[in-house]
Every structure is written in C-alpha cells, then in structure tokens.
Amino acid sequence: MKPVIIASGKVRPVAVEKLQSIADFRMYAGGGQPPEEMWAAWLQEADALYATGNIRVDEALLAKAPKLKVVVQSSVGYDNIDIDACTRRGIPVGNTPGVLVDATADLAFGLILCSARLLHVGWEHVKNGAWGRRKSMGFGVDLANKTLGIVGLGRIGAAVAARAQASRMKVVYHNRTQRPDDAALGVTYVSFDELLATSDFVLAMLPLSKATEGLFDRNAFAKMKPTARFINVARGKIVDTAALQEALQEKWIAYAALDVTDPEPLPGDHPLLTLDNIMITPHIGSATVETRDAMAMLTVENLLAGLAGQPMPACVNPEAVQKKA
C-alpha cells in the first residue's frame, strides 16, 4: 500500500513528480485554506503532511490526523506549526534551513540597496516620462561608511553581512547571545538599544516567537535615527504595524522596506500603502527557481526519512523520533 501524502498548498513540480511516483499524493493548489470537508477527509487518511504557511498545524489539526507520521514544510520558518504538539505525538517536523541562505540574503541586501537608492522610484520616474525632471526624484544615500545593524544574526544574517561589507558598510548585530565567530565575520556585538540608536539601516532577521512578537514597537522606532531605514525580511508579526506606520508618517525614521507584513497578504487598501517612504515586496525572500526547487527537494528528503522512521536531513524536533521509539 502506498502512503498517503497530503499537501495544503502548491508544491514545486519537481517534488510533485517524485511524490506521485511513490505515494498517493494529494495536493490542494487552490490558494488560501483548503476546503474544510475535503481537508478533513484527507487528514483522516494522511501518513505525511506537506504543510504550507496558509495552515496552522496545531492540536486541532493533529487530532484529525490519526495516522500522521511526519510533517514537513518548505521553509526555514515554522511559526505556523505547534512543534510541542507534534513532539508530544512523536511526529518529527522537517524544515529547509541552509538551501535558502543566498537567495534570502540577496533579497535582504536588495531591499537595503532599494531603501538607499530608491531604484523602484527611479523606474517609475522613467516609466512616467519624467527623466528630464530627474532632480524631482531627489537623491539617495550611500551605503559605504554607513552602519548596518542586524537583529538576529544567523546564517542568512551572516550572508547579508558579507554583502554589506563588500559595499564597505560597517556591520553591528544583536542576538540573545554573542556569536563566538563574530570577529571572524567582521561584525560587532552590541545591545539592542545601541543597535537601534546607531544603525543607519536596521535589518530584522529574527524568527517569530512569543519573545519576538511585536519587538519593533513604538519604543523601538522612537530610538532609531530619523535617517534610519528599517528592513524586515523575517516575519511581519515581529513588527507592530501601527507603530511602524506612525514612525514613517511622523518621520521618526526615514524609510521602510519590507518583504513580510502583518497581515499577510497585505490588503490593497492597507494604510501602509498610502505612504511614500515605504516599499513592500510580497514575501519573496526565497522565491528563485533554483532555491525553491532545492527547498522542495529537501522537503521531500525530510518527508521520506520521516516516513521511514529515519533521521531527517533537517529536523526541528529530533526528540520526537526518540519519543516514539
């Protein structure tokens, strides 16, 4: 009997092909939440869940999936998954760290560059036939000799730091604990408050958790320089959106460039979209052909390992397997 593998959202064709060859693979590709009745029937039979960020994997879902042996997701973040609940049931959860480092770092650096040089504004200017009035677009600012402050310096943060250093930026960072390799990376550890007060560009790279939810609030924005540019490529909910809006409107900070928002997707009539000192991309940090394929294939490897009761290449809760054994 082939295992039943269900997916709550679109899966890359390269992974679909593999999964169809070994399993009864069912994919909901309609966008948004899967229809309730169909989804409940799929869960009832599922051996494996290929989750996507549109669903919450929590007690309520797990209770509907009595045969479930493994949960995987094609992302490094897993804030939509209740890891403790999965662990309690002996269900390992796989994610995809590593393979998206360069793509996400490129996007983060692209947003830093856009916030400094307003590339997108320049393009609109030209498209609107306003090139001859170039001065009306105003000037950008240099990256060289400016300070980039990275809040949450993991692998992606380190890759952004290298890109920033190539542009001759100074890089400071704040983590819960200082990295032992920070001197080798050429980055300087500072307190959160010092980072906010001294950085020209503040890059948020933190995972979403109870501790980081709303971390960038009125207080945080009030501590930044009026010339600061704020960039978020992590999760929308680490920012208090109303506070960011106020900070941009009142010019407490100069600019924001976001790849993630709260809510997400951002509705077309959201007040943030009325501001002229912001640019937003639609959560495309890892969205390149090569990276998304690599993420999908790592997800498949995780899934197959989980089904076979073997250690996954990338597991968030390896203790789940020991619990089951």
Whose Cβ is closer to ligand DGY: residue 53's or residue 92's?
A: 53
Shortest separation between residue 160's beta carbon and ligand DGY, angstroms: 14
Q: Which stretch binds ligand DGY (CB under 6 A): 3-11, 71-79, 86-94, 268-276?
A: 71-79
Residues that contact ligand DGY, how many (by CB under 6 A): 7
Residue among 196 and 234 whose Cβ is closer to ligand DGY:
234
Residue 16 carries which side chain, given as an amino acid letter? V
DSSP of 258-275: ES--SSSSPPTT-GGGG-
Does residue 283 have an active-site annotation? yes
| Beta-carbon contacts of residue 14 (< 8 Å; ≥ 6 apart) | 293, 296, 297
Smallest gap from Cβ 219 to ligand DGY, in A, equals 26
> Which range, of 8-16, 73-81, 107-115, 123-131, touches ligand DGY by CB under 6 A?
73-81
Residues in Cβ contact with 50 at an 8 Å cutoff, skipping those fewer than 6 apart: 5, 6, 7, 8, 11, 19, 27, 72, 73, 74, 299, 303
> Catalytic one among 124, 250, 264, 319?
264
Cβ proximity to ligand DGY: between 92 and 236 the closer is: 236
CB of 75 to ligand DGY, least distance (A): 3
Judged by CB under 6 A, the stretch of 5-13, 70-78, 189-197, 310-318 that binds ligand DGY is 70-78
Which residue(s) pair with 216 in the sheet?
239
Q: Using the CB atoms, write b or e for 5-14: b if 16+ within 10 Å.
A: bbbbbebbee
| DSSP result, 179-223 | -TTHHHHT-EE--HHHHHHH-SEEEE-PPP-TTTTT-B-HHHHHH
Tell me which residue has tokens 């830093």.
Answer: 112
Q: Is 236 helix (H, G, I), strand (E, B) or coil?
A: helix
76 binds ligand DGY (CB under 6 A): yes
Least CB distance to ligand DGY at residue 171 (A): 22
* Smallest separation (angstroms) from ligand DGY to the CB of 285: 5
In this structure, which amino acid lies at residue 97? P
Pick out residues in 50-69 that bind ligand DGY (CB under 6 A). Answer: 53
Find the binder of ligand DGY among 75, 87, 212, 232 (CB under 6 A).
Answer: 75
Q: Is residue 294 within the footprint of ligand DGY (CB under 6 A)? A: no
What backbone torsions phi and psi does residue 249 show, to the nearest 5 degrees? Answer: -65, -45
Contact set for ligand DGY, span 270-289 (CB under 6 A): 285-286
Tell whether residue 100 is a contact of ligand DGY (CB under 6 A): yes
304: amino acid identity, one letter:
L
- Say whether residue 99 binds ligand DGY (CB under 6 A): no
Q: Which of 89, 229, 235, 292 is catalytic?
A: 235
77 interacts with ligand DGY by CB under 6 A:
yes
CA 249 distance to own-chain centroid:
25
**Interface pattern 129-168 for ligand DGY (x via CB under 6 A):** ----------------------------------------
Burial 216-249 (b: 16+ CB within 10 A, else e): beeebbebbbeebbbbbbbbbbbbbbebbbebbe
Which of 19/208 has CB closer to ligand DGY? 208
148: left (phi over 0), alpha (psi -120 to 50) or beta: beta
Which candidate in 283, 292, 301, 319 is catalytic?
A: 283
Q: Is beta strand 24-27 parallel, antiparallel or unpaired with respect to 4-7?
A: parallel
Chain Cα centroid distance, residue 289: 17
Catalytic residues: 235, 264, 283
Q: Which residues bind ligand DGY (CB under 6 A)?
A: 53, 75-77, 100, 285-286
